[in-house]
Amino acid sequence: MSTTPPSSALQQIKQRRSRTLTSIVREEIAGMIASGELSSGDRINESELATRLGISRGPVREACRSLEEAGLLVCVVNQGVFVREMSLDDARELYQVRGALSGLIGRLAAEHATSASLETLRALVDAMNKAADQQDLSGYYKLNLEFHDLLMNIANNRMLAELYLSVIKQTHLFRRRGLVQQGSLKTSNQEHQAILEALERHDGAAAEQALTLHVAKGWTRLANSIEPT
């Protein structure tokens, strides 16, 4: 009996491997945008990224096409692929959608929160307080992402999570800017505290309101960082 898989099986294996590599590259680029390593307007160096990950350029190109469809990248003919630069109007609309989704996350999280998950949220809020005291923007931002990701997981709604992640990845294009202003870290974390207190009471309406307000205030901070009043 031949030990060589049939050509159809080999093709399936090849396609599956390609999809896996593309997913890895996609998450790598999205992570670079979230961390600030890539900023709006930056060009994606496909060759450099392929070398960095030890792969061919094919999965990198596929990942870039996928992220263009997701609204994170744009392809400019004869120039290359760039991190999307979002207009203020686009950002405003995105924050409106994020606020509505976040409110629902808060309501569901209040219903499903356990003592263990609340304890983890409390630890994140305390850690963000320390980061705010030290004006550690990068540290605060990472913890902030963990806080909101955990809320999404606690809400325990797969469809909502997919919609939320689609929106939140686009907000990484500019979200850090709203935390740069003096005192913004402390103010942001006071809002996290209000969210946590509502969750600890398992008050769905209050958690929904607190999260919706947090996103609205985040938008105000962002808008002021772009067009100071």
pLDDT surpassing 80 at residue 142:
yes
Give the angle 73-78-84 at the CA atoms, nearest 5°: 15
Predicted local confidence at residue 183, as pLDDT? 67
Decide which of 33, 58, 83 is a domain's last residue. 83
Q: Is residue 137 part of a domain?
A: yes
Q: Is residue 2 part of a domain?
A: no
Closest CA to 141 of 107, 184, 102, 101: 184
Q: Is residue 96 part of a domain?
A: yes
Q: Is residue 26 part of a domain?
A: yes
Predicted local confidence at residue 99, as pLDDT? 97
Domain of residue 50: give its range. 7-83
Residue 170 and residue 124 share a domain: yes
Decide which of 18, 51, 83 is a domain's last residue. 83
The pLDDT tens digits for 39-49 are 888 899 999 98
Predicted local confidence at residue 179, as pLDDT? 55
What's the total number of domains in the chain? 2
Residue 104 and residue 67 share a domain: no
Query: Domain containing 199 — which CATH number?
Result: 1.20.120.530
Lowest-pLDDT choice from 89-93, 114-118, 151-155, 223-227: 223-227
pLDDT surpassing 80 at residue 174:
no
Contact 128, 140 (CB under 8 A): yes
How far the first Cα of the chain sits from its last, in Å, is: 77
CA distances from 193 to 126, 138, 168, 211 (A): 9, 20, 21, 11
Q: Is residue 199 part of a domain?
A: yes
The pLDDT tens digits for 84-130 are 887 888 889 999 999 999 999 999 999 999 999 999 999 999 999 99
